[in-house]
């Protein structure tokens, strides 16, 4: 089953940590973007992570429904079916869920996994993200501990964040925050580890200057050594086995050297959304520009059905998005490292 079981997902993360590589975690919103992600991972011979944001789930549920959890379930179930045709492993994950959306988004998804498990299947999602960075750390960890307990019962991994990723994504805007809020301290990393490690496995999005959105190279001031300093604080106190599974958010515009440096410090997952959104849209614009008289019925003409058929440009979008994701696999060194058939 190419959607990873809980044990296979843990094996994926262990392999990435041991092999010093990371998985691209690509946001999807539709059948077309799911297929692009699966094609990319298969072509790159890479396992990977497919994730749904609250906004992506709401979009997928349709304009009349606008239910983020329902749309996320639809996308996840579709991925379970489509992934059966591939020979790499993918894990399903949900992106940034803030405290006020836990009851309406995460809780229904927990229930969907609980139902699948009762039917003898695996959980719907293999991991979820709770983004408590918008509240003080003690409140963040109080909520995180409760969510991790529920996740652990379902064999689901929880991703948490301390420190804020800057910029704007899915309507959540932190662009006005002071610069120091973009950097997690070693003390914070130690506190997160000690609060969560006794409960279950977790992923940690520690921030080191990350900013959501598109930027020219050099515009975002990353400090990857923050990850190293935090890991050292944890391992100095709790031993080498305490090295945490870290997540890199807001990587658009980052130098390849900076991306690769984070792998040395324990990053096993890097989110990719902005770059794949652009890769998806760019060929659609080209198609329309080159076929404007066929796409539009100008001056009473009838146009050209072959060029305004959505399949004509969505195929190009799927291929372009897949190619960009293959590049992400290569940048993160996950290409050629599938553990499919080994775990």
> What is the 3 state secondary structure string of the chain?
CCECCHHHHHHHHHHHHHHCCCEEEEECCCHHHHHHHHHHHHHHCCCEEEEECHHHHHHHHCCCCCCHHHHHHHHHHHHHHHHHHCCCCEEEEECCCCHHHHHHHHHHHHHHHHHHHHCCCCCCCCEEEECCCCCCHHHHHHHHHHHHHHHHHCCCEEEEEECCCECEECCEECCCCCHHHHECCHHHHHHHHHHHCCCCCEEEEECECCECCCCCCCCCCCCCHHHHHHHHHHHHHHCHHHCCEEEECCCCCCCHHHHHHHHHCCEEEEEECHHHHHHHHHHHHHHHHHCHHHHCCHHHCCCCHHHHCHHHHHHHHHHHHHHHHHHHHHHCCCCCCCCCCCC
Q: Which of 47, 95, 188, 331 is catalytic?
A: 95
Q: What residues contact 321, with CB distance under 8 A and at least 6 apart?
A: 33, 36, 37, 40, 276, 279, 280
By C-alpha distance, which of 88, 28, 21 is closest to 276? Answer: 28
Active site residue 95: yes
- Residues serving a catalytic function are 95
């Amino acid at each position: 089953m190419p959607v990873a079981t809980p044990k296979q997902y843990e094996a994926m993360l262990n392999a990435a940590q041991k092999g010093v590589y990371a998985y691209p975690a690509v946001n999807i919103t539709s059948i077309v973007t799911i297929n692009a992600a699966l094609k990319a991972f298969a072509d790159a011979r890479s396992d990977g992570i497919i994730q749904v944001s609250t906004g992506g789930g709401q979009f997928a549920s349709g304009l009349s429904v606008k239910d983020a959890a329902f749309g996320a379930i639809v996308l996840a179930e579709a991925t379970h079916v489509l992934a059966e045709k591939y020979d790499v492993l993918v894990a399903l994950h949900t992106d940034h869920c803030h405290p006020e959306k836990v009851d309406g988004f995460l809780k229904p998804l927990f229930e969907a996994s609980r139902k699948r498990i009762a039917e003898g299947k695996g959980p719907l999602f293999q991991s979820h993200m709770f983004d408590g960075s918008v509240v003080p750390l003690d409140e963040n960890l109080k909520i995180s501990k409760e969510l991790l307990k529920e996740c652990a019962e379902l064999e689901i991994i929880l991703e948490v964040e301390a420190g804020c990723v800057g910029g704007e994504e899915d309507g959540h805007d932190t662009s006005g925050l002071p610069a120091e809020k973009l950097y997690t301290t070693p003390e914070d990393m130690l506190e997160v580890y000690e609060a969560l490690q006794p409960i279950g496995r977790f992923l940690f999005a520690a921030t080191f200057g990350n900013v959501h959105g598109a930027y020219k190279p050099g515009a975002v001031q990353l400090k990857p050594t923050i990850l190293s300093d935090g890991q050292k604080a944890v391992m100095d106190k709790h031993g080498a086995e305490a090295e945490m599974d870290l997540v890199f958010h807001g990587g658009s515009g980052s130098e390849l050297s900076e991306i690769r440096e984070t792998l040395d410090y324990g990053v096993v997952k890097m989110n990719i959304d902005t770059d794949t959104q652009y890769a998806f849209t760019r060929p659609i614009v080209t198609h329309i520009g080159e076929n404007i008289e066929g796409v539009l019925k100008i001056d009473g003409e009838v146009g050209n059905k072959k060029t305004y058929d959505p399949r004509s440009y969505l195929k190009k979008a799927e291929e372009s998005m897949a190619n960009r994701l293959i590049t992400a696999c290569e940048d993160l060194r996950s290409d050629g490292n599938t553990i499919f058939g080994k775990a």
